[in-house]
Amino acid sequence: MPQDLPDILKSTHLFENFVTGPNSRLAFAAARKVAESPGTLYNPLVICGGVGLGKSHLLQSIGNAVAAAHPDWSIVVLNGGQLRVEDIAAAERANLLLVDDLHLGLASRDLQIRLIPLFDRMTGANRQIALTTDMAPQKIEALDPKLLSRLLGGVIVALKEIDTNEKVMILSQKARARGAAIADDVLFLLAARVPSNIRELEGALNKVLLFASLFDGPVTREILDETLPPTVPGGQSVTDLVLAAAPEPADRPGDDLAGEFGDFITGLDHKVSGLISEQQDAERQRQDYKDRIDVWKMKGFNTAGVEKHLGQDITVLVAEYDRFTASVERMIALQQEFGEMAASATAEEIAGIESLLFDPGAVDQLDAAVAALRGRLAAPPAPPAAQPRPAPAVPPPAPVEPAPALFTPEPEGGHSAAATPQLPAAAAGGRDGNLIERWPWLEDRLIDDI
């Protein structure tokens, strides 16, 4: 790695410790490609997104990866908020130019005019440019159209707000790097209480770990509640919300109240304090149930049916949540039963049941579908279909006896009774059995004639 590497690239921001998720996967892949083949792909690369989403992390990761692969390259890192004309001149020698928060340096028209030929020379010479902005270049009002066209000639990728799953992964990774083990349910609650900003997320984790270190114990739900109390919609804590709504005390002598009026005021103060305490308890419970619902949602269950009751009276919310968890428990038992029978189910049965596995509102339908599958598999096998009886064997026809000879040749030298032609009885006799006619063999007749 070159000795004159900019200090900003001597940080720990690397591709290896960047947590990717659905909202950052495209930007991460583009930055990785640029680092592997700088100057040949996606030039310039523009990474845009809100504050604290990882733009600078990806930009510095590109710089660190290129510095390791090309130690002879000149790398220049500029910050848009401190961009000067002299910096642009220094960037002329760069093989890799990284500009963080470019939008902050676009107020100067002179700077924009000087950036246009710099971009042309660098991209034309296959020298890589990568930069970040807090919004898409098309939405930057002060951006010169010619400079915009240069940015659009590369590729623009966005980092979007991270969801709870990504926040949990980030928290888990950073906690392990600090040598701290935090239970999954506590991580989910911590992620739910911090806005979608990685810097705020890391700050909240540091605060919780510091508080836990005072007790020399793990991060528990109680420590989390002490460090990051539940909030109500709008980002305010319950205490702040109640204090903001409380009326200012009237100007009156502090110790001069006496008699019936004083007693009335004192009783009123107690009632107000009691109402505030009840409100605090209700909001704390409401946030607690919201956190529990978020955990079920992260596990894949459809929570829309119970979420719509979060704004209702706490007793209604508690009753609805109890019904929801009862349905989930039934659903988990049905999931286990279906898992044991799935190997014997048809494709249609599997598709129908899987569409119901995580919707507590359809637990009755799931119960019926699993019961139908159970009944089908438990039914005795159907008897085999009756086979047609074979036709009786026809005996082969009896061999035909050759017809008896009608005539017997007469031996040479004379006639004899044995030489007399013999006819079958049916042919030789009439009704009375007398001989009708005798026919000597033709050969004998001819001999007699001779």
- pLDDT tens for 379-403 read 876 666 666 666 665 666 666 555 5
Which pLDDT score, from 0 to 100, does residue 309 have? 83
Tens digits of per-residue pLDDT, 102-137?
A: 888 887 888 888 888 999 999 989 999 999 998 888
Q: What percent of the chain shows pLDDT beyond 90? A: 13
The set of residues, in sequence order, having a beta carbon less than 8 Å from that of 318 and lying 6+ positions away, is: 285, 289
Round to whole Å and give the CA distance between 288 and 298: 16
Which pLDDT score, from 0 to 100, does residue 425 have? 46
DSSP letters spanning 262-324: HHHHHHHHHHHHHHHHHHHHHHHHHHHHHHHHHHHHHTT---HHHHTTTTS-HHHHHHHHHHH
Q: What percent of the chain shows pLDDT beyond 70? A: 70
Residue type, 54: G
Both tokens of residue 79?
């910050």
324: pLDDT strictly greater than 80: yes
The pTM for the full model equals 0.48
The set of residues, in sequence order, having a beta carbon less than 8 Å from that of 223 and lying 6+ positions away, is: 208, 211, 212, 215, 217
Domains in the chain: boundaries: 7-161
CATH class of the region 7-161: alpha beta
Residue 171's pLDDT band (cuts 50, 70, 90): confident
258: pLDDT strictly greater than 70: no
Which pLDDT score, from 0 to 100, does residue 280 have? 59
Which pLDDT score, from 0 to 100, does residue 38 have? 92
Q: Is 420 left (phi over 0), alpha (psi -120 to 50) or beta?
A: beta
Pick the residue with more confidence: 100 or 254?
100
The set of residues, in sequence order, having a beta carbon less than 8 Å from that of 289 and lying 6+ positions away, is: 310, 317, 318, 321
Mean pLDDT over the full length of the chain: 75
Round to whole Å and give the CA distance between 264 and 134: 57
Round to whole Å and give the CA distance between 201 and 191: 7
Tens digits of per-residue pLDDT, 361-381?
A: 998 999 999 999 898 888 876
Both tokens of residue 296?
């079920």
Of the CA atoms within 13 Å of residue 309, those in its CB half-sphere come to 17
E-strand ranges in 36-133 read 45-49, 75-79, 96-100, 128-133
215: pLDDT strictly greater than 90: no
Element (H, E) at 378: helix 363-378
Residue 254's pLDDT band (cuts 50, 70, 90): very low
Of the CA atoms within 13 Å of residue 157, those in its CB half-sphere come to 26
Nearest Cα neighbor of 102 from 123, 83, 127, 76 is 83
In order of 32, 168, 181, 249, 292, the CA distances from 205 in angstroms are: 28, 11, 12, 38, 20
Burial class (CB within 10 angstroms; exposed 0-12, middle 13-18, buried 19+) of 187? buried
